[in-house]
Amino acid sequence: MSRRTLSRALAVTLSLVTGTALALPTPSLADPIPKAPGHRLVDPYVGAPATAQPLPGTQPPQHPYLAANGRSGMHADGWGSATYPWSGPLGDHPRSGSERMAVLGGECANVTFDRAGRIVTVCGTFTGFLVKLLDPHTLATLAEYRLPQRPSTVEAITRLDFSRIFKDTSGGAYSYLDNEDRLVLADSRQHLVRLAHRQKPDGSWAFTVTDDWDLTGHVPHDCVTWTNLHPSGICDPVTSVMPDWQGRIWWVTRQGRIGTVDTATGAIRSVRLSGEEIQNSFSVAADGVSIVSDHALYEFTAAADGTPAMVWRQTYDRGTGTKPGSVNQGSGTTPDILGDGGRYVAITDNADDRMHVLVYRRGADVPADSRLVCEIPVFAPGASTTDNSLISWGNSLVVENNYGYENITSLTFGRSITGGVTRIDVRRDAGGCDTVWESGERSPSVVPKLSTGNGLIYLYTKDPDRRGIDAWYLTALDFRTGQTRWKQFVGTGAGYDNSWAPITLGPDGTAYVGVFNGLASVDDGN
């Protein structure tokens, strides 16, 4: 079956499921995600338990308007480091679990933790995104709040183009938990909302909208809906939101709009990067906001009235087209702020032959011809791209290769990608960067994470299999050496494909992976 034929078949299935799902009750506790045939034929565990070796260094500063570092969102903190101060699983008699959130779909794209350790997540079903409050041990649903359906879902069904969903980063995937345990997101109506969760007198839980800011005066919103199948205007979805250190909420759109909301007054201000696209999230330091478009890397601050003001702009090699494994023709990374005091910012480019890791000086007074610290090529010629954030710790960066992955149909029947994971270090004298190690692990599309509490990098890997078995593993690498320490089997089949969702390390040491049918978990049995 060709990829196009399979995609169309999935789209037809999707339309049938979507037509009936609204009539079905939502169970409080989903079933485990079914494993595809072959799961009894693969290794349940490879390697040996690791010994925790905490990494020296200083955590990124705690953002005053985000939940504690490691609890707030997809990239773990305001700097986008993808690091956690506590230990993840060490591979000591590990156990895998999962919960299915929908009949089809249900992927939990972003996992956060409130002060009590409960999971606050956004799961994408084909009838709309669901904000869910989960028990972190059983993954039972304690409460849920339904968000409006995204235009890409309607387009997938009506135009039989399943790929539209997988290239859509809007609708709440890039949400964050704030310093008061409220989830903040932009929904598909172009509204910015804050959701609180509270326990009711009867012991049950519920979400409440505490704030709702309408962005439609600043964002074109003639989008596809079931009652507007052929819009004639412009639809520009909000892709990500983050607070700055003064408490404003910043937002960006796919078509290059950048704005702020003053949460005290409700005032909304915005600018536009004409002809540029923003598909990634962004990072925030005390002195500025780092944003990457498909043309350039930017540093912004806010003017006195909240209007985004550009501090500097640096173009990069965007190549000549979109690679398989990229959402658009540009950098696939959320910028990483790193180094002492946040002196650097790092992204990847989209150069045709080999992608590069790029590190820049962030200072406002740095001359344009001195801003670039290094430009390091990574992975094999003609087969390198990433659409995920880098890991950053101290002056170190870790990048994975996503070349060849496009959606859940890409790796079926035992297929995999070229793969590769590389660590790059900025030299202490800022005179350039060096490659520290290279790994051949194949981590097709996950947002990888690092536990600074134990020194392990966590990937979600899939090796090629001549028998056609699609087996997915949580894989731990040694940050210092790049050596693979262990692999724990999670599941088989497309239901366990993470499809761009992240790994998240819980405060209790559990690793969670958003997968196509819901949420998977791995913890140490001992």
Given a contact cutoff of 8 angstroms between Cβ atoms, the answer to whether 121 and 112 are in contact is yes
pLDDT of 526 = 75
Q: What average pLDDT does this structure show over 348-377?
A: 97
pLDDT in tens, 452-478: 999 999 999 999 999 999 999 999 999
Given a contact cutoff of 8 angstroms between Cβ atoms, the answer to whether 143 and 197 are in contact is yes
Tokens linked to 63: 């953002």
Q: What average pLDDT does this structure show over 191-200?
A: 97
Least confident of 35-39, 180-184, 186-190: 186-190
Indicate which CATH number applies to the domain containing 249: 2.130.10.10
Domain residues for the domain of 481 are 3-524
Please give the mean pLDDT across all residues of the chain: 91
Q: What average pLDDT does this structure show over 355-371?
A: 96
pLDDT of 150 = 75
- Indicate the burial class of 423 (C-beta count within 10 angstroms; 0-12, 13-18, 19 or more): buried
Q: Which residue has the higher pLDDT, 30 or 286?
A: 286
Pairwise CA distance, residues 438 & 327, whole Å: 25
Q: What is the DSSP letter of 370?
A: G
pLDDT in tens, 378-414: 999 999 999 999 999 999 999 999 999 999 999 999 9
Pairwise CA distance, residues 141 & 102, whole Å: 12
Q: Which residue has the higher pLDDT, 167 or 321?
A: 321
pLDDT of 456 = 98
- If phi > 0 it is left, if psi is from -120 to 50 it is alpha, else beta; for residue 47 that is left
The single-letter code of the amino acid at 371 is: R
End-to-end CA distance of the chain: 44
Tokens linked to 343: 């002196």
pLDDT of 148 = 86
Q: Which residue has the higher pLDDT, 10 or 395?
A: 395
pLDDT of 165 = 67
438 has pLDDT over 60? yes
Given a contact cutoff of 8 angstroms between Cβ atoms, the answer to whether 73 and 81 are in contact is no
Q: Which contiguous run of DSSP H or E holds residue 8?
A: helix 3-21
Pairwise CA distance, residues 374 & 62, whole Å: 28
3 has pLDDT over 70? no
DSSP-based three-state secondary structure for 17: helix
pLDDT of 194 = 98
Look at the chain and report how many structural domains it folds into: 1
Closest to 130 (Cα-Cα) out of 102, 158, 169, 161: 102
Q: What average pLDDT does this structure show over 299-304?
A: 98
Q: What average pLDDT does this structure show over 327-336?
A: 95
Q: Which residue has the higher pLDDT, 59 or 227?
A: 59
Tokens linked to 213: 């800011």
Given a contact cutoff of 8 angstroms between Cβ atoms, the answer to whether 89 and 269 are in contact is no
pLDDT of 95 = 97
- Indicate the burial class of 257 (C-beta count within 10 angstroms; 0-12, 13-18, 19 or more): buried
pLDDT of 155 = 73
Phi/psi of residue 164, each to 5°? -60, -35
State what percent of residues in the chain have pLDDT above 70. Answer: 92
pLDDT of 173 = 82
Which residue is listed with tokens 């003639």?
222
DSSP string, 123-167: EEEBTEEEEEEE-TTT--EEEEEEPPPPHHHHHHHHTT-THHHHT
| Model confidence, pTM | 0.93
Pairwise CA distance, residues 136 & 113, whole Å: 9
170 has pLDDT over 80? no
Phi/psi of residue 15, each to 5°? -65, -35
Sequence-ordered list of residues with C-beta below 8 angstroms from that of 35, at least 6 positions apart, any chain = 491, 492, 493, 495, 496
- State the CB neighbour count (10 A cutoff) for residue 217: 9
Closest to 524 (Cα-Cα) out of 514, 509, 513: 509
How many residues would you count in the chain? 526
Phi/psi of residue 392, each to 5°? -130, 135
Tokens linked to 392: 């950053």
94 has pLDDT over 90? yes
Pairwise CA distance, residues 270 & 250, whole Å: 9
Using CA atoms in the order 391, 392, 396, 397, what is the torsion angle rounded to 10 degrees? 40
